[in-house]
Each structure stands twice: as C-alpha cells, then as structure tokens.
Chain A
C-alpha cells in the first residue's frame, strides 16, 4: 500500500496540498483526550494548593514577626534604623556602617537592586535591635559615588535620647542644597 500521495492535479490535489500545508504549519497535539486532564485539572489543583500554602506562609511570617517583637522588645526598647535617599539625588550608595556607643551594630553593602529600590522610594531597615533608655551616641559612615562617579565617604555622629517606646532613626542620604555634594542626615522620629 502506498502511503504517500501520487502527484495529483485539480481541486483534489489542491485540497490535499492545503492539508499538507496545514499539517506543516499546524502542530497537532497527538495526545488523545485522555491526556488532557493530566494537564488542566492537575495544574489547577496544584495552582490552588500553592496559593493556599503561600497564604499560610504569610500568616506564619506575620506571627513570627509579632512574636519576635513581643519577645525581644516587650516594653518598646527597640531601636530601628532606616536608610532612605532623597528623591532627586543621583548619588550611588555603596556601604553603610553603624556604631552605637562605639560598638559596630550593623554594616551593609548595597546591591544594585537595593540601590535601585532606594532610588525608587524604598526605605531600607538596616538595623533593628534593643537599646536602653537614655542618651547614646550613634555614628554613621556612608560610602558611595557622586554623580560624576567619584567615590565619597561621609561620617556623621549624633547623640540620641532613647525614651520609652520604639526609637526610629532615619539616615537620609542626599545632596546638600548648594553643590550636589553628598550629605547624610541623622533624623530621630
């Protein structure tokens, strides 16, 4: 039996050709219908399961954070330090180093993604920890590059007064009003 067509002409041949071309362009799923439920129903089941798990993970993370805060800082002995960048600055932030009362409490090197996030309005919580009430000295060292690509380094220091409740400190990186020179402000909120 010949399984290939012989040369044909006329309408029949053209129709056959159309079919051939269709077969050329059409990728036919050879799976019979029995295979399809594997794809659709199983995927749907899996997708729903993943969504449920994601939600549960969020809940666990939430509970963990709450527990952590209650356990470590039950009466608000918390110090939180944020790093932010002014909207209009084109400074490149590379490193931040924090010292509290002469002791290094945090050091962070910014990745490209983190740096971009800061420029897009993000605020980085660089440190969270406990602190006794009273006066403390916070020293900040910031390194980066100015818009011209020249490296810069700035050091600032401030005496902060820890009162009852969480102490929020913002390290705002910006260019100074005059000459686009990098500046660091330590703000206590």
Chain B
C-alpha cells in the first residue's frame, strides 16, 4: 500500500517536472532553431562574399537580392547595407548604386561608413566622363576619410575640379598633401599641371621641381619624372628662360616614353638660341626612330629644312626625297590599316584583347601585338573612350555568356518537367548547379563554345543571328566586370601605356591650332586632348606599382560634361515609377547630374519593356511549362538586345579608330605637301646658285 502510494507520488512528481520543463524545453528548442537560422543566414551571406571576392558580381548581387527578398540575410549592419551599393557599383550599375547610397543616407547611415562607397562612385563617374555626377558624389563625402583613401580622394577632387575648369581651385586643393608619402609625386605633378593651366608658370615650376627632386625607383615614377621635366621645359620656355628649358629637357631619359618629344623640343630650343647645327643633333637622332611616332615623322622633315638653310643643298635634296618616300610608305600603310579597320577585324581584335599592365610606361606594344595594322592605335588604346568601349564590350560578352548559361539551365529544367509530368518533388535529383555542373572554362577565360550545343540546336534563330554577325570572334567567358575597388583591381581595368602623340610642328597654321581666344595659351579643355605631359595621374588604391591604369588619366581626350536634362513631366513619372518599382531606388537623389543619368536609364528601361522583353506570365504561375517558356522567351529577347548592344559597341570603337586614323592621315597629308614644297624650293635654290 505504501509502495503503491509512493509510486503514485513519484509518477505525480514526474508529471509535474515534465509539465514544468515543457515550456523550458520549448524555449530551448526555439532558441536552438533561432541559432540555426542565424547560422544559415551567415552561410548565405558568406556565399555572397565568396562571389564578391572573386569579382563574380552578378552572382553575388543575385544571391543578395534573393536573400533580401526571402529574408534570409542576417540582421544587417551598416557595412552590409553599404555592400549592396558597392556590389551594384562593381557590377556596373553605378546610377543605381548612387540612388542606393542616397537611400542609405536618408536612413541615417553614418557618413564614415558610406564614404568609401561615395568615393568609389565618384571615381567611376569620373572615369566615364560624368564629371558633374562625380562632383556630386564627392560632395556627399563627410567627416574623416579612411587613411588609405585620403590621398586618392585628394587627387580625385583635384582632377574633377580641373575637368570642370577650376584649375586654380584644383591647385589649392593639392597644396597640402594628405596622402601616403610615396604618392606625393603625383600630387606635386598634378598641382604643377593645374598651375600651368591657370598660367602661373613660376608656381608651376616650383611644384614640378618637387617631382624632379625626388629620389625615385621604378618605371612609373621615372616616367612621371620625365613628364615633369618635359613640362618644366615648357614652363621655362613660357618664361623666356631657354637655358633652363634646355637643362630640364636634357634630363629626360634617352630611352623612355617621352624621349622623342624631348628630342624634338631640344632641337627647337637650340634653333631658337641660334644654334642650328646643334639643333640637327637631336633631330637626326630622332628621325632614326620608329615612324609610328608623329614626332619622328616631323623630324624627317625638319632636318632637310635646316640643311637647306645651312646651304647644304645636296644633303637637303637627298633627305627631302627620303622623307617623301617615308611619308608615302606611311600613307600606304595607313590606307591598308583603314581598310582592315573598316572590315572590323582590327578593332575587334583590340576589343577582344584583355588589357594588361605588362610593359613599361609608354613602351608597350600591345597594339602592335594584336595586329601589325594596329601600330597606330597606341593613343587610341590609352584613350578613356576606347577603354570604356572595351570594358563595355567585355561586360556585354559576359552578359551573353550568362544568358547562354541561363538557356542551358532552362533546357535541363524543361527536360525535368517532361520527365516528371506532375512536376512533383524529385528527391535525389542531380543538382543544376554544383561544382561539377559549372560551365567549363579555359584557363585564359575563353569558354568552350561547344558547351551550349544543346540549346543552340533548339534555338536556331538566335544561333543563326549570332553566327552571322559574330562569325570570326571568340566567345569570351566572364571577363572582369568593373571592380569592387577595395577588394582588388582586375587586370582588365588596366590601360595600355600611351604612345607619344603630339604635333611638334613649327608654325601655328601648319596643322591648325584649335580655336582659342589666346592662340599661345592653353586651349579650351573641352576641345583638346591634353598632352601626355599634362595627363594627370591617379594611382590605384594607394599602390604605386600599377603603371598606366585607367585611373592614371584624368582626361586623355575629350571629356563630355554632364548634361543637365530637362525632364518632361511624363518622363518624370517614368522616373518615379522606375525609382519605386524597377531600380530599387528611393527618394529623389540630391544631384541633378545623377537625376539626369537616372532619367536616361528610365527611358532605356522603358524601351526595353516596350520591345516586349518581359512577358505577362506571372513568376508564381503554377504551370511550370508556361513559366519555362516565358523565361526562355525573355532570355532570347534579351540575348538579341545584348547582341545589338555588342554591335553598337563595336561600331562605336570602330568610329573611334577611324577618327584616330583620320587625324594621322591629315597630318601625313600636310607633311607630305610640305616635303614636296621643300624639295621644290631646294631645287630652285640650287638652280639659282
């Protein structure tokens, strides 16, 4: 009996304990599940980082946006909020990135967190020539910048100011250098250029001498010193100090990217000092060099001219005849090159070539390495416009590859649907994306073209279209898309080293100076290409070792000022719609330049929609076959659009190349005319004697 009572009591206690522990157990279980969910969120975020660190920005963005949608991101810190903007920027959606940053700012994001992103946005805009938009982005930077960015920010601010014509303000902005000591040379040089442009030669000389006084090593800094000496020669000449000009020109290295210009200038200094015979020394040296350089072509004309003046008529006649032969040969080569450019082969080869940083400054022969006909395209390769065209081309090819991959996946999904009529769950199904099913790429980044054979068979229309337009081209797989600068600068952002491009002709009306109020002053920055000696330098990410990157050039050629667009009401509505639904952008941005870009983006998106790229099938339609068909149609339409954009890009690059050839042809024609005239005069002079 007692035992029975004890047993009942024990059972009661057991139940009581269980009842008491039940909520606690639930709590532990809930806590455990929350911990698991948090860990999964971290894994998903880590996967986004995994893609981002490898510059797979499209994959990272897709994952990130999906995670946002599905709420599978960990509670976001300020840094992770900025990550979305920075990923968009790295992927090339810089306008959207700008809006995202404005949104974050409106949410009260502390400025120091977003400063780096604003700087990167400004730099991207500046590289694209959107100077006003770059200025707006720079204006958003508040407070103290990260230490590693201070110098680059200072240089970028000065460049933007100079691009806007505020040279004096730019010079002032560089008076106190706040960056790394090893970058000080760039600041002094840029300040010198800003002062030259504002006509303050004496101050410019002081700044430039700081560059030449530096003990430097490495090709990039040696080339910078050469440029400083070349510009010092110019500045001293403007101050009528020819001896000093000569002294600095002589300090330019004999074998460097600026040697030819220095030799040409030295000859002119000697001649203007009345030492004609001495002038022949550098010019004779110069004319023995490659005729691809315009400086050399001019020297072969100057030498016989001086010989005629010195009454060395037989030598002058001989050299004029040689010059005419050389110029004629050069003209022929130029014509041949023009034909190949018009056929598209050369430009496509240049676009296909992945830019690198190999080669010393100014000595790179990448253009010639692409094709012998491309020897004239050094300045073209170095130009901002061509660089942007090449980047756009690679981005588009990458998009095309992405769509190919999408079609491939669709085909597999379609096969899956066909094999499972109810489209039900298929445990154990082979994964669509595992490491084994990833697209196969060659080590150099060229995709195996055969990998899409299945989908090509099923889509003859676009296959025919593509093959008919792109027959001779290699398909490139996923080249670097614009970089997330903090992480790494990919090689394809590099810019080819420039070749010297100048017109060292002695008379202002010989080749025609640009129309400027002061023919002897610096021309309007809007209509000239700044000389290499005045090209500004912005080293990358605080590293000096990367020579001749895109960032190094302030504006090697024409810079389009941002257009402040007058947006009609209907377009404003479109922009608002875009802002709300399509581009993840929030309230109106602060800057008119960014608004202008957004309006253009909205119009382009509207065109895309009108062309029927999006179908009416809801994305949550339960009929998988319909959804697959709809998605396939979207991809095919989008693919056509990408191909059209590639053709537009090629056309644009070809126009740039032909414009470059036009310049050279005009110059050659003038030189040839002068050579013939000079020869005739020399014959006359000989007859008279």
Closest approach, in angstroms, between the C-beta of A123 and any C-beta of chain B? 3
Contact assessment for B427 and A132 in the assembled complex, using a CB-CB cutoff below 8 Å: yes
A74 to B559, CA, bound (A): 53
A97 to B274, CA, bound (A): 80
- A8 in contact (CB, < 8 A): yes
Do A125 and B501 contact each other (CB < 8 Å), given the known contacts A43-B129, A60-B634?
A: no
Contact assessment for A106 and B608 in the assembled complex, using a CB-CB cutoff below 8 Å: no
A58 to B514, CA, bound (A): 45
Name 5 A/B residue pairs within 8 A (Cβ), A-sorted: A13-B272, A14-B240, A27-B530, A121-B49, A130-B428
Contact assessment for B413 and A71 in the assembled complex, using a CB-CB cutoff below 8 Å: yes
Contact check: which of B230, B430, B501, B619 meets A63 at CB < 8 Å?
A: B619
10 closest A-B pairs by beta carbon, nearest first, are A123-B46, A122-B50, A40-B560, A108-B435, A117-B53, A129-B431, A132-B427, A29-B529, A30-B663, A17-B272
- B365 in contact (CB, < 8 A): no
Closest approach, in angstroms, between the C-beta of B526 and any C-beta of chain A? 8
Do A27 and B240 contact each other (CB < 8 Å), given the known contacts A4-B302, A19-B508?
A: no
Closest approach, in angstroms, between the C-beta of A173 and any C-beta of chain B? 13
A43 to B530, CA, bound (A): 20
Please name the residue on chain A nearest to B622 by beta carbon. A70
Q: By the criterion of a CB under 8 Å from any partner CB, how many residues of chain A are at the interface?
A: 97
Per-position 1/0 for B277-301, Cβ under 8 A of A = 0000000000000000001000000
- B477 in contact (CB, < 8 A): no
Q: List A contacts of B264 (CB < 8 A).
A: 24
Contact check: which of B46, B50, B231, B613 meets A56 at CB < 8 Å?
A: B613
Q: List A contacts of B118 (CB < 8 A).
A: none
- A62 in contact (CB, < 8 A): yes
Segment among A45-53, A152-160, A177-185 that sits at the interface with chain B: A45-53
Do A60 and B514 contact each other (CB < 8 Å), given the known contacts A47-B388, A129-B428?
A: no
Contact check: which of A7, A21, A30, A52 meets B265 at CB < 8 Å?
A: A21
Q: Is the interface of A mostly helix, strand, loop or mixed?
A: helix
Per-position 1/0 for A10-41, Cβ under 8 A of B = 01011111111111111111110101101111
Per-position 1/0 for A81-119, Cβ under 8 A of B = 010100000000000000000000111100001101110
Interface on B for A, CB 8 Å cutoff? 36, 39-40, 42-47, 49-54, 58-59, 61-62, 65-66, 91-96, 128-129, 230-231, 233-234, 237-238, 240, 242, 245, 261, 264-265, 268-269, 271-272, 274, 276, 295, 302, 305, 309, 379, 385, 388-389, 392, 395-396, 399, 402-403, 406, 409-410, 413, 416-417, 423-436, 501-508, 510-514, 519-520, 522-523, 527-534, 557-560, 582-583, 597, 600-601, 604-605, 608, 613, 619, 624, 627-628, 631, 634-635, 638, 641-642, 645, 648-649, 652, 655-656, 659, 662-663, 666-667, 674, 677-678, 681
Please name the residue on chain A nearest to B260 by beta carbon. A24
Contact assessment for B93 and A51 in the assembled complex, using a CB-CB cutoff below 8 Å: yes
A168 to B72, CA, bound (A): 13
Contact assessment for B652 and A123 in the assembled complex, using a CB-CB cutoff below 8 Å: no
Contact assessment for B502 and A24 in the assembled complex, using a CB-CB cutoff below 8 Å: yes
- A151 in contact (CB, < 8 A): no
Contact assessment for A64 and B406 in the assembled complex, using a CB-CB cutoff below 8 Å: yes
Contact assessment for B624 and A67 in the assembled complex, using a CB-CB cutoff below 8 Å: yes
Contact assessment for A123 and B427 in the assembled complex, using a CB-CB cutoff below 8 Å: no
Contact assessment for A54 and B92 in the assembled complex, using a CB-CB cutoff below 8 Å: yes
Contact assessment for B649 and A5 in the assembled complex, using a CB-CB cutoff below 8 Å: no
A41 to B558, CA, bound (A): 11
Q: List A contacts of B409 (CB < 8 A).
A: 64, 68
Contact assessment for A2 and B53 in the assembled complex, using a CB-CB cutoff below 8 Å: no
A139 to B677, CA, bound (A): 86
A15 to B656, CA, bound (A): 34
Q: List A contacts of B230 (CB < 8 A).
A: 25
Contact assessment for B54 and A54 in the assembled complex, using a CB-CB cutoff below 8 Å: no
Contact assessment for A62 and B427 in the assembled complex, using a CB-CB cutoff below 8 Å: no
A63 to B96, CA, bound (A): 20
A47 to B514, CA, bound (A): 29
Interface residues of A in 137-173 (CB under 8 A from B): 168, 170
Do A170 and B43 contact each other (CB < 8 Å), given the known contacts A4-B302, A50-B645?
A: yes
Closest approach, in angstroms, between the C-beta of B234 and any C-beta of chain A? 5
Contact assessment for A23 and B237 in the assembled complex, using a CB-CB cutoff below 8 Å: no
Q: List A contacts of B65 (CB < 8 A).
A: 58, 62
Do A26 and B531 contact each other (CB < 8 Å), given the known contacts A56-B638, A75-B425?
A: yes
- With A2-B681, A50-B392, A132-B428 known, 10 other A-B pairs at CB within 8 A are A3-B506, A11-B240, A21-B237, A30-B503, A55-B93, A60-B406, A67-B631, A117-B49, A122-B49, A168-B40
A49 to B52, CA, bound (A): 24
Q: List B contacts of A24 (CB < 8 A).
A: 234, 261, 264-265, 268, 295, 502, 504
Contact check: which of A41, A51, A125 meets B560 at CB < 8 Å?
A: A41
Contact assessment for A20 and B504 in the assembled complex, using a CB-CB cutoff below 8 Å: yes
